[in-house]
Structure 1
Amino acid sequence: VSRPSAAGRLLTAYDRQLPFTLTAGQSAVGKTLAEELALDSPMNRLLQGEVGSGKTIVALRAMLQVVDAGGQAALLAPTEVLAAQHFDSIRRTLGPLSRDGLLGGLGPDSVQVTLLTGSMSTAARKQAMLDAASGTAGIVIGTHALLSENVSFYDLGLIVVDEQHRFGVEQRDVLRSKASKPPHLLVMTATPIPRTVAMTVFGDLETSVLDELPAGRAPISTHVVGLAEHPAWATRIWSRSREEIDAGHQVYVVCPKIGTDDDGDFSPGEAEPTDADLAENGARELASVTGVVEQLRDVPALAGISVAPLHGRQDPALKSDTMASFTANRTQLLVSTTVIEVGVDVHNATLMVILDADRFGISQLHQLRGRVGRGGLPGTCLLVTSLEPGHPSRRRLDAVAATTDGFELSQEDLKLRREGDILGASQSGGRSTLKLLRVLEHEDLIARARQDAQAIVAADPGLDRHTVLAAAIDDYLNPEKEAFLERG
């Protein structure tokens, strides 16, 4: 459904009150989104930008355009920490334009921003659901709770998916089905996973890029710490951490597991262990949050340092208190799972230590290191592994250490894991419906085929003059695969 820009209302007022000028990239992408939102056909766009490059502001301006046009926008975030951060920051940046804002907006030219998460009280959750269903809420921000069958919208016009690699195809499709007419879709990521890269090349997702170095972001140096060839570095990691803390800074330590009896803290499609990984896993105990916290108590270099654990099984109030303590520098070293992968913004944190880093995917590693170097201070990321130098899993670590460019990393990820099942739900590599094509090797051919297909459909939408092509498509597509062509 067309959501044209309504000049002089929310979006105009928001732009007028911005305390800074949009970058050239933000303005260009914003113009593209505005044009596509005004079309009758749904927008289906990927917004690629490094952590802190201003993706959220671009998305918010698109959401305000939809609200101006009488619709609603939903922002889907992978964790409660990130959803709450988006909720607070969006209300804060809207100021008097937010009906629930810090300054309490009044009148018709304001928008209600509503938060919906699983840990909310029953009364608060019911009120949020009522606000979404009645249309009172113009912008609804939430986690997987938005996907509940009890959640409905009055007129959902735009879906924004943040950190899209954390959601499966079906999950995004559930939210899309809550709209009475096909909604516009904007997915945002700092590192597309292979399936997304493949779909982008095939044209299912148009791509916009914010490639300016974010203001106030210092470069991040990344190093592979191979304990197999340098066992003494296991001790050096903690003395290096103490150096950062003594300089007044803070340290993240990331583990693949919560406790010693866990299989691992992996996201679907992100770091699925290979047979080789599983075979060698029996010979080593992966680092866990509880185990490392216990271990660090006996490390001389960290004597007197405040250490705290953080993981997804903790009570939400405890997680909030732990993050507040770290943000205030009362906790100097945080031992965590990947719950800090997104949504955590502590400018004083300068060192990221990722233990058993070979157990994480390229996208996760790239996101994790984006937690440091955020306050103008140089950041350092140590990718710690006990695997031998020739192990295939170390190729991922070498790739991450070699570049901080998200698209370059996604290309390398695609080389390592292939394009996944383009016409199915799989997001990881290893199974592809492509028989002769390879996305990286035949990118030019795919681009030409896409142009030809667009020309054919534009001239003959029903393929009435291309009966052989129409028959071939009918023969190939079954209802399940056809449904997935409309997902992304």
Structure 2
Amino acid sequence: MDQHTRLDVILGKRIAGSLEKNLGLLTIADLLENFPRRYLQRGEFSEISSLPFDEDVTILARVISSSTRTMRARRGTITDVVISDSDEGGPVLSSVKISFFNGFNARQKLQPGVLALFSGRVGSYGGHLTLTNPDFILLDEAVTTAADAAAMAKLPIPVYSATAKLTSWTVQRAVAMVLDQADTDHWFDPIPEWLRTRERLPGLSQAYRMIHQPTSVEQCYWARKRFRYQEALVLQTALARRRAETAQEVATSRPGVLDGALTAFDAQLPFTLTAGQRRVGEELSRELATSHPMNRLLQGDVGSGKTLVALRAMLQVIDSGGQAALLAPTEVLAAQHAESIRRTLGTLTRDGLLGPGDGPSVSVTLLTGSLPTAARRQALLDAASGDADIVVGTHALLSDNVTFFDLGLVVVDEQHRFGVEQRDVLRSKADAPPHLLVMTATPIPRTVAMTVFGDLETSVLDELPDGRSPITTHVVGLVENPRWEARLWQRAREEADAGRQVYIVCPKIGEGDSLADDDGGEALALFGAPAGGDGGAQELTGVVGMLEALRAEAALQGVRVEALHGRMPPEDKSRTMAAFAAGEVDVLVSTTVIEVGVDVPNATLMVILDADRFGISQLHQLRGRVGRGRLPGTCLLVTRLEPDHPSRERLAAVAATTDGFELSQEDLKLRREGDILGARQSGGRSTLKLLRVIQDEDVIALAREDAQELVAEDPGLEGHPALRMAIENYLNPEKEAFLERG
């Protein structure tokens, strides 16, 4: 039997169906690569006092009492069993009562002193944790293959992810049946033998047995080390192959000219480029001048000047006779980009009045779905004829009727909001593969970049330009300081009276909504999802209600307050944002639609309501909207959570530093790393099984070097069919597409 054999061939339809329904496991390989979450030993009891409420758990505990009584309201009995995490004969540390309705089996087997595994959902009754009708198995019955009881006592007990209808020991028994019948000794190993020997790793068949049926704790660690490296090698080899394939493509060289628009632009800049901007600019310039397509990820902290660097690259392409397209995730951001580029270009902007003899000039065209018919028709004509040098747009750029005269550079802003299909549609509008620059305002740790964006070369802007003012951030806890709520609006009034402007950010739009789903969505694709804890059942603040409340607030009488959110008509959004940028609105009540790209230097205060409902990186991006001029910025993170609530950790982390790279590391530590390649990005189950991108940096770096060597010697992996097959199996089409994102 090979890896693709369906589980029902060995396990039968009932058990195989349960594994598919509850865990999504279809084949032998699926089951064997569903590794234990942890291991228990007889002397290591589960800590009952820390059981998570309302979650499915598998725990090892000892029975300390059992009693059965007749129910009064209906026929039958209730067996109450008290279990503890104390050793036999020792003091009771923590205990939990389990109730079995008509539990004949429990009454017979769960006698005082018995050691057992219990699997069920943690509930509460009378202020105490409970398990109601859990599945259980006596420990001596959990391991059936060892003859010697003394040896059995030393065997680690694997604990698998379980559900209410599928226990850990059911999975364990299924694995045992598969290992007994599947001929894993003859399966091809994805890790080449010379690499296994160098790293002293067990072979595939041996590793499966070690990780699922270990005879010692050391075997668990050894097997996990092997599969961790295997994960890294498969991912890095897939990325290395992509880099090699890209290197074979032929692009149009865009070297620029000596006295073109880029030279004129640099000459009129009112400030000096930072060292980082010069360094990254030189990297982009060199790659644009080659005959292979540039594929580069440009990341930098909030306000580091990524758009300026991208604009200089666009001008080099324009000087070479090509066009540039900038793809933005929202109409608000696209309009902001177009206006910002025109403003930055200054006198170089071509407005139709300048003739051919007036020196270098650049035409910037906006193309969005909400443009009036005549304006849209003109924008399409300008892109197709080449009259438009830079075309800024949203998904409208991807329409079939959009064509370019000579598309030389594609710039994708906020890459995590676009899939590979969308990017490829835009790239296909060029006769030859265009150069690609992906920008992200979310700082990405080096190991994440190697794992997720390894097919792109990476440039980092790690310093702020002159003129950017510091931002101070404070957590405003209304539970411990309820009077601070009134002070918030007084603070907003003080800023308005001083001629400055204020953002008020809400997590939803109106009554009955959950978190706001603006046209830009939330920044949850890579980082930004709340790290556990939903803030309880508190009513979230909505833009609509807050707008009414602030207009009636005594402290804000006479202050111009407007709202902005994703459900507004596009023309209303544009009008409101333009008014705020022009200083005609003092206080803007908004959802996260203003999260990235919005640039209003006069905005100095941001109040984020229900801040605990946002993730670390999203809070960091939001506060980057203030302090963009020469006046310092202030961000107030308002929460109604108790001071000891776990979600307050995120707020404290954001208040403690403005270093986006440091925050992204903290973000990963607080959240499940599996989400990085998981369902939120690719629509499937999490790809990462054992690999942890923060802890396993050395493993990832080593696998990257090994993968580059393998692909350099054998681009098609003809000599490594097992590794090639592992890439095809491990990275299904959805996940493989995700790895191409940007």
**TM-score, length basis structure 1:** 0.88
Where 1:426 maps in the other structure, the secondary structure is helix
Instruction: Output aligned runs, 1:349-368, within 5 Å.
Output: 349-368=603-622
Indicate the SS of the match to 1:187.
strand
2: CA distance between counterparts of 1:329 and 1:60? Answer: 26
The correspondence of residues 227-306 of structure 1 with structure 2, limited to 5 A, is: 227-266=478-517, 267-268=521-522, 270=524, 276-277=533-534, 280=536, 283-306=537-560
User: Alignment partner for residue 46 of structure 1, among 289, 297, 300?
Assistant: 297
Quick one: structure 1 residues 135 and 426, their matched pair in 2 at CA, closer, same or farther if it must change by over 3 Å? farther
Q: 2-side partners of 1:128 and 1:335: how far apart?
A: 32
Report the Cα distance in structure 2 between the residues aligned to 1:221 and 1:429, rounded to whole angstroms. 38
Aligned pair in 2 of structure 1 residues 200, 129: CA closer, same or farther (>3 Å)? farther
Matched, 1:449 2:706: no
Cα deviation digits, residues 69-121 of structure 1 (max 9, x gap): 34321101223232223223323433454433786665795443221012211
Instruction: State the SS of the aligned residue for 1:277.
Output: coil
SS in 1 for 2:712: helix
Give the match for residue 158 of structure 1: 409
Shift of 1:450: 0.9
Given the alignment of the two structures, is residue 374 of structure 1 paired with residue 625 of structure 2, yes or no?
A: no
Distance in 2 (CA, whole Å) between partners of 1:376 and 1:71 is 36
Pair 348,423 (structure 1): closer, same or farther in 2 beyond 3 Å? closer
Gaps of 5+ in 2: 1-250
Indicate conservation of the 8 Å contact 2:477/2:641, yes or no. Answer: yes
**1:439 aligned partner:** 693
Name the counterpart of 1:402: 656
How far did residue 299 of structure 1 move? Answer: 2.9
Report how many aligned residue pairs link the two structures.
484
Higher mean C-alpha deviation, range 441-450 or range 126-135: 126-135
Aligned pair in 2 of structure 1 residues 101, 438: CA closer, same or farther (>3 Å)? Answer: farther
| In structure 2, C-alpha distance between the alignment counterparts of 1:406 and 1:169, rounded to whole Å | 26
* Correspondence for 2:342 among 86, 91, 109: 91
Q: Is the 8 A contact 1:95 1:105 kept in 2?
A: no
Q: What is aligned with 2:433? A: 182
After TM superposition, give the deviation of residue 345 of structure 1 in Å.
2.6
Q: Which residue type is aligned with residue 370 of structure 1?
A: G
For the 8 Å contact 1:114–1:139, the answer to whether it is kept is: yes
The alpha-carbon deviation at position 233 of structure 1 amounts to 1.9
**1:439 Cα deviation from its structure 2 partner:** 0.6
- 1:319-330 matches, cutoff 5 A: 319-330=573-584
Please give the secondary structure, in 2, of the residue aligned with 1:446: helix
Preserved contact between residue 340 and residue 368 of structure 1 (Cα < 8 Å): yes
Matched residue type, 1:138:
D
Partner residue, 2:283: 32
Q: 2:600 aligns with which of 331, 336, 346?
A: 346
Deviation at 1:36, TM superposition (A): 2.1
Q: Are 2:396 and 1:145 equivalent residues in the alignment?
A: yes
Q: Deviations over 1:122-174 (max 9, x none)?
A: 12112212222333323211122212233233333321122334444544344
- The corresponding residue for 1:66 is 317
Give the superposition deviation at 1:294: 1.7
Q: Of residues 367, 377, 387 in structure 2, which corresponds to 1:116?
A: 367
Q: Distance in 2 between matches of 1:479 and 1:329?
A: 48
Contact 2:444–2:661 at 8 Å: present in 1 too?
Answer: no
Give, in whole Å, the separation in 2 of the partners of 1:34 and 1:315: 40
Tell me the C-alpha RMSD between the 2 structures.
Answer: 3.1
In 1, Cα distance between equivalents of 2:705 and 2:640: 47
2:270 and 2:661 map into 1 onto residues whose CA distance is 30
From 360, 364, 389, the equivalent of 2:643 is 389
SS in 2 for 1:215: coil
Moved more, 108-117 or 444-453: 108-117
- Amino acid paired to 1:175: L
Greater RCO, 1 or 2 (C-alpha within 8 Å, sep 6+): 1
Distance in 2 (alpha carbons) for counterparts of 1:423 and 1:41: 29
Match of 1:20 in 2: 271
Identity among equivalent positions (%) equals 72
The residue type equivalent to 1:416 in the other structure is L
The question of 1:7 aligning with 2:257 is answered yes
2:38 aligned partner:
none
Q: Report what 2:572 is aligned to.
A: 318
Structure 2 CA distance for aligned equivalents of residues 361 and 101 of structure 1 = 45
Q: For 1:263 and 1:355, how far apart are their aligned partners in 2? A: 14
Q: Quick check: 2:299–2:444 contact (8 Å CA) kept in 1? A: no
In 1, the alpha carbon distance for the partners of 2:425 and 2:340 equals 26
Q: Label 1:273 to 1:412 Cα distance change in 2 as closer, same or farther (>3 A).
A: closer
Question: What are the within-5 Å matches in structure 2 for residues 414-429 of structure 1?
Answer: 414-419=668-673, 426-427=680-681
> What is the aligned partner in structure 1 of residue 154 from structure 2?
none
Question: Residues 191-246 of structure 1, C-alpha deviation per residue, up to 9 Å, x if partnerless?
Answer: 2478x972444523332122222221111111111222222222222222233333
Change (3 A) 1:54 1:261: same
TM-score (norm 2): 0.60
- Residues in 1 aligned to 2:355 and 2:621: alpha-carbon distance in whole angstroms: 34
Aligned partners of 2:576, 2:387: CA distance in 1, in Å?
A: 34
Distance verdict in 2 for CA 1:25–1:103, change over 3 Å: farther
Structure 2 residue 452 is matched with structure 1 residue 198 = no
Change in CA separation of 1:455 and 1:293 when aligned onto 2, cut-off 3 Å: same
Instruction: Say whether the 8 Å CA contact 1:78–1:144 is kept in structure 2.
Output: yes
Q: Is the 8 A contact 1:71 1:157 kept in 2?
A: yes
Query: In structure 2, how many angstroms separate the alpha carbons of the residues matched to 1:218 and 1:337?
Result: 24
- Read off the aligned partner of 1:205 and give its amino acid letter: L
2:565 partner amino acid: H
Q: Structure 1 counterpart of 2:564, which letter?
A: L
Contact 1:344/1:371 (CA < 8 Å) preserved in 2? yes
The one-letter code of the counterpart of 2:512 is D
Sort the Cα spacing of 1:398 and 1:66 in 2 relative to 1 into closer, same or farther, 3 A: same
1:363-415 alpha-carbon deviations (Å, 9 max, x no partner) = 32112211211221111101111122333333322222121112222222222
Does residue 335 (structure 1) correspond to residue 589 (structure 2)? The answer is yes
Report SS of the residue matched to 2:688.
coil
Structure 1 residues 17 and 241: CA distance shift in structure 2, 3 A: closer
Classify 1:232/1:484 alpha carbon distance in 2 versus 1 (closer, same or farther; 3 Å): closer
Rate the CA distance shift 1:45–1:334 in 2: closer, same or farther, 3 A.
Answer: same
CA 108–326 in structure 1, closer or farther in 2 if over 3 Å, else same: closer
Structure-2 separation of matches of 1:139 and 1:154: 12
CA distance in 2, matches of 1:428, 1:396: 26
Unmatched 5+ residue regions in structure 1?
none
How far apart in 2 are the matches of 1:428 and 1:71? 34
Contact (CA 8 Å) 1:420, 1:428: kept in 2 or not? no
Contact 2:386/2:404 (8 A) holds in 1:
yes
Contact 1:357 1:385 in 2 (8 A): yes
CA–CA distance in structure 2, aligned partners of residues 427 and 141 of structure 1: 25
- Is the 2:383–2:405 contact (alpha carbons within 8 Å) kept by the matching residues of 1? yes
Structure 2 residue matching 1:387: 3-state secondary structure:
coil
Contact 1:239 1:302 survives alignment (8 Å): yes
Supply the distance in 2 between the matched residues of 1:428 and 1:240 (Cα, whole angstroms): 43
